[in-house]
Structure 1
């Protein structure tokens, strides 16, 4: 399985194999894990009890989190399941403050996470198909064929891509035209929003070139593989490797804080 980068070298188009793409993916995951290690170490630097010295163990934070989740809270005593569903998935705390802000957060969250799951499923199907070819096993169901599975995901991918795009458009509108939000915006926020917008646009363009839709801007079909490859690489670096080092770490930190506090304000 080969991906074409579209870069001409010595008169030939440079080909990047599936294995090399997986190396890039593992590199992004490795950077992500290093960043999370650094964050866990930082989060675990505090004292684990009154009068006790600061901890220097990376396990201090996970241990404290599990302890807090099992403790009888003084004020908030809702279950972990209720906290996960209502406060983390449906983000009701944001809804109470601003329905528009909630809708923006919810569409970005649902769009991003669902497309991420679809990408994982596509990856698993490709890996299973390749493993079957290697061992001579060809009795997989038809939908496990990568080409067929990609077409099965086509409509859901479109739906959740537009959901994500809706949230991004609302975020851009708020940053540009809502005075309170615009005044509170810093360069860090703008970089994150610009990066996410760029990734979504490159995804639409790559799909538009492949399918001939208006998002392809009439570009020739031969540009589809390099456009898709470019989108994948940028997504790996920005949506995985960059998370622990950016403001997007709140996607992990806030749910953990909510679980530790059992919801509440």
Structure 2
């Protein structure tokens, strides 16, 4: 029965969605967070609750976008069924030799933006800094969280550890600086020079300003910790080269408000994650992936 098969596909898709949310929620709640610098556990729990809710919205928005793509012109079959097939093909690619080729396509078109490079060097460089910094920070977050809260890796914890200095301090500052420069270029183009080819609509302005505030807030937060010589902020300041500059203009007394500022920064970051599927940033990254996956699905169907 077509109706029964359609219902089965929908149930399967939403079960996967629910499993993803449940897995993320459990992972978030069981981590010890021993290296988080906030003293208020209530503030930490509030942030985690907001983060889980925002990831729920992110996954829901992502699924919505993918279902819309699966309703494209010329596509046959229920969008849920096509999406499940695409996910199945993508999983097969991940565990096959084709993974590195697919990863190369994503890196070239999704992160390096090779097609944009030929049209405008400035736009390409700007987006490369923003997306590259964003991707680097995402990877660093995963590595640091796994190293600190699961492995309890000593060099990542000790203030003199090589991983603490080069990964938690230097690499994070580098990623943040990349985003800060890219977003500053975007802001100047959109709000100062305003070239005719750039149409600044409200969602574009919100994305640039909101992300710029998040990046600046991260450096201000780091500067507060360095200025007050908080835990893990007492030595080797030169590795946090951007945060150190912010600390020079930060009086140590502001550390009294560190917990509140950390919570505001964390909630803003979580809200931006929820907003990603509804922004141009998502389509810029996801479109090359969707094209590659669609090609793989077509090859599998034709070869069947």
- Which deviations, in whole Å up to 9, do the C-alpha atoms of 1:58-99 show, x marking residues without a partner? 24146368889xxxxxxxxxx645533432332111111111
TM-score, normalized by length of structure 2?
0.64
Structure 1 CA distance, aligned partners of 2:115 and 2:157?
Answer: 42
Q: What is the aligned counterpart of 2:109 among 87, 99, 117?
A: 87
Q: What is the aligned counterpart of 2:82 among 60, 75, 89?
A: 60
Q: Secondary structure at the match of 1:30?
A: helix
Q: How many residues align?
A: 229
**Structure 2 residue aligned with 1:143:** 155
- Which deviations, in whole Å up to 9, do the C-alpha atoms of 1:118-165 show, x marking residues without a partner? 222222234316xxxxxxxxxx54225386655441011112211111
**Does 1:189 pair with 2:191?**
no
**Structure 2 residue aligned with 1:136:** none
Measured at CA, do residues 94 and 142 of structure 1 come closer, stay the same or move farther in structure 2, by a change above 3 Å? same
Q: Can you give the 5+ residue segments of structure 1 that lack an aligned partner in the other structure?
A: 6-13, 69-78, 130-139
Q: Can you give the 5+ residue segments of structure 2 that lack an aligned partner in the other structure?
A: 1-33, 91-100, 228-243, 296-304
**Does 1:37 pair with 2:66?**
no
Q: Secondary structure at the match of 1:180?
A: coil
**Structure 2 residue aligned with 1:26:** 52
Counting helix residues as a fraction of each chain, which structure ranks higher? Answer: 2
Structure 1 CA distance, aligned partners of 2:285 and 2:85?
Answer: 17
Structure 2 CA distance, aligned partners of 1:16 and 1:65?
Answer: 38
RMSD in angstroms over aligned alpha carbons? 3.1
What displacement does 1:22 show?
Answer: 3.4
Within a 5 Å distance, the mapping from 1:138-217 to structure 2 comes to 141-145=153-157, 150-152=164-166, 153-175=168-190, 176-182=192-198, 184-212=199-227, 213-216=244-247, 217=249
Structure 2 CA distance, aligned partners of 1:224 and 1:150?
Answer: 21
**Structure 2 residue aligned with 1:223:** 257
Counting strand residues as a fraction of each chain, which structure ranks higher? Answer: 1
Moved more, 149-158 or 26-35: 149-158
Measured at CA, do residues 117 and 108 of structure 1 come closer, stay the same or move farther in structure 2, by a change above 3 Å? same
Structure scoring higher RCO (CA < 8 A, sep ≥ 6) equals 1
Moved more, 253-262 or 106-115: 253-262
